[in-house]
Structure 1
Amino acid sequence: MGDVQHASGSRDTKASIHRAALDLFSAQGYEKTSLREIAEQVGITKASLYYHYSSKQDLLRAIIGTFVDDLRQVMARTDGLDWSPEAERELLGAYLDVLIKHRATGPTLMRDIGAVLAAIDEDLEGLIATSRGFQLWLAGPNPTVPDRLRAAAAIEALSAALSANLSPGEFIDSEIHATLLDAAAALLGRRNA
């Protein structure tokens, strides 16, 4: 039982570190935020922070990595899946759910793109290829260039969940989901118009 509590406490501490880091990165930028400030916001010592993360870059990599892993899981669902309007809407919804779940990461992604790219450098080409494959699947069977452009635009519409900078309580998750999913579907729906 002690091991379970210790593991749970470690996860809780890591989650608190992630939240504090994202708050500080969003407010003052990645470069201007120190590990000491993050530790203070969490209420732990800098040494305790180093127990979990060896550097600020390691911390950013963990935060971004969780987000990227969740996106990849959704995009991988297209492997071997035949396109249909129902499958398209389901996967768009799942992709959007990931963006909503990680929307606190959005301001950091937008503000410090150089640090983010450095954090995912070894995965960047694979992530781009996976994303392009997902967009191609969304474009439907035998897509034309306009179909592919609409699929890319639909993904960009969903990314508004990250860049809209909505205050907590300003808009509930289900409203964000419905609004952006309808916008993305409308962009894709013009394919046959």
Structure 2
Amino acid sequence: MQQETKSRDTKGDIHRAALELFSSQGYEKTSLREIAEQVGITKASLYYHYSSKQDLLKAIIGTFFDDLYAMFQRVDTVPWSPEAERELLAAYLDVVITHRATGPTVLRDIAAVLAAFGDDLGELIERSRRFQLWLAGPDPSPRDRVIATAAVEVVGAVFSAGLEPAQLSDAEFHQTLLEAATAVLTGRRNVPS
């Protein structure tokens, strides 16, 4: 009888432990030794996967940024319409909800994130601004642009405030945030129905 071996997702375990520690005590105050201990591996084993704490941070947050960047690229190829607006808002929420554990780390240790990503972060911010401008609709007024920015910030505010109700499933959470962002967007004046 052949014994079944269970494959361990060591990188996934490292990511989860690092995010938990970075979120609770901060990037600077978290050591690789603490991460290794929480995972149940040696520090040498951790170094096998990541050469430094910054390398680990880049791996964790990099997937979030890559997914955001891919979503933001759609703005360049999808003409604005009410249907497309809802579709891209939903895609944005998919990324944010998928990577919700990453958010507190980004917000808490922005200096570490800036050091790790530098110019790439600038490009991501520019893409985010283009997404907000696209959400403002065709020929937006300054007021429309403020409203579109506020709609995106509704999502960020929920995560930065830690208002992720455990009573809601991911689907309900997604739908609630989509409704909130869409409700904010209804205040625009120059958008065709």
Shift of residue 161, structure 1, vs aligned partner = 4.6
What is the 5 A alignment of 1:178-189? 178-189=175-186
Instruction: Say which of 10, 13, 19 aligns to 1:13.
Output: 10
Match of 1:85 among 58, 70, 82: 82
Aligned pairs for 1:86-165 (under 5 A) are: 86-165=83-162
Which position in structure 2 is the counterpart of 1:190? 187
Matched, 1:50 2:53: no
User: Structure 1 residues 136 and 167 mapped into 2: Cα distance closer, same or farther (>3 Å)?
Assistant: closer
Once the 2 structures are TM-superposed, how far is the Cα of residue 72 of structure 1 from its aligned partner?
A: 0.8
Letter in 2 for 1:80: T
1:189 shift after superposition: 1.1
SS in 2 for 1:149: helix
Q: Distance in 2 between matches of 1:120 and 1:77?
A: 22
Q: TM-score, normalised by structure 1?
A: 0.89
Deviation for aligned residue 1:166? 4.7
- RMSD, aligned α-carbons: 1.9
**How far does the alpha carbon of each residue in 1:24-61 deviate from its partner, in whole angstroms, 9 at most, with x for none?**
11111111100011011111111111111110011111
* 2:60 is the counterpart of 1:73: no
Judge conservation of contact 1:100–1:162 (CA < 8 Å) in 2. Answer: no
Counterpart residue type for residue 177 of structure 2: L
- Shift, 1:84, TM fit: 0.3
CA–CA separation in structure 2 for the residues paired with 1:130 and 1:107:
21
Which of 171, 174, 177 in structure 1 is aligned with 2:171?
174
Match of 1:35 among 32, 36, 44: 32
Give 1:171 deviation, angstroms: 2.9
1:148/1:189 CA distance change after superposition, 3 Å: same
Q: Is the 8 A contact 1:99 1:161 kept in 2?
A: no
Alpha-carbon separation, structure 1, partners of 2:72 and 2:36: 35
In the alignment, the residues of structure 1 paired with residue 45 and residue 159 of structure 2 have an alpha-carbon distance, to the nearest angstrom, of 30
| DSSP-derived class of the 1:162 partner | helix
Greater alpha carbon shift after TM alignment, 87-96 vs 100-109:
100-109
Contiguous gaps of at least 5 residues in structure 1: none
Counterpart contact for 1:100–1:161, Cα < 8 Å: no
SS of the aligned residue for 2:76 comes to coil
Structure 2: gaps spanning 5 or more residues: none
Q: Match of 1:24?
A: 21
When you count helix as a share of all residues, which structure comes out higher? Answer: 1
Sequence identity, in percent?
Answer: 68
What TM-score results when the alignment is normalised by the length of structure 2? Answer: 0.89
